[in-house]
Amino acid sequence: MAALTKDQILGADDIHREEVTIPEWNGSVWIRVMSSADRDAWEASLMPANGSGKPNMKNIRARLVARCACDESGALLFAANGADVEALGGKSCAALDRLFDAAQVVNRIREEDVEELAKN
């Protein structure tokens, strides 16, 4: 396999998207792979700010969905913090769980994915 150039790497369309049906909302939502910077920011948001050592689980589903929900072209639908996350957190847990689960799958952040990475 040939080595890639900088332009080939930066020009690659590597942000995969999947459409998720949300019966509670009578429609569907696209979920995309996070960019590396978005993934780092999301993971950093899990770190405790108060020094408790416990991860910040507040509105974790909405925070992940906000970084992954997009339109068909891949443009994000929500701001990754603030009012959009709070508004998403107020939506049906069944609907948000569907999107959260899909976001975990496409971003390889399910528990079994993390365990597999740790083995390697």
> What is the set of domains in the chain, with CATH numbers?
18-119 (3.30.2220.20)
Q: What pTM does this model have? A: 0.86
- Give the whole-angstrom CA distance, residue 116 versus residue 111: 9
Give me the tens of pLDDT residue by residue for the chain, a chain 120 residues long.
Answer: 889 999 999 999 999 999 999 999 999 999 999 999 999 999 888 887 777 778 888 999 999 999 999 999 999 999 998 899 999 999 999 999 999 999 999 999 977 655 554 454
Whole-angstrom CA distances from 27 to 30, 52, 55 are 10, 40, 33
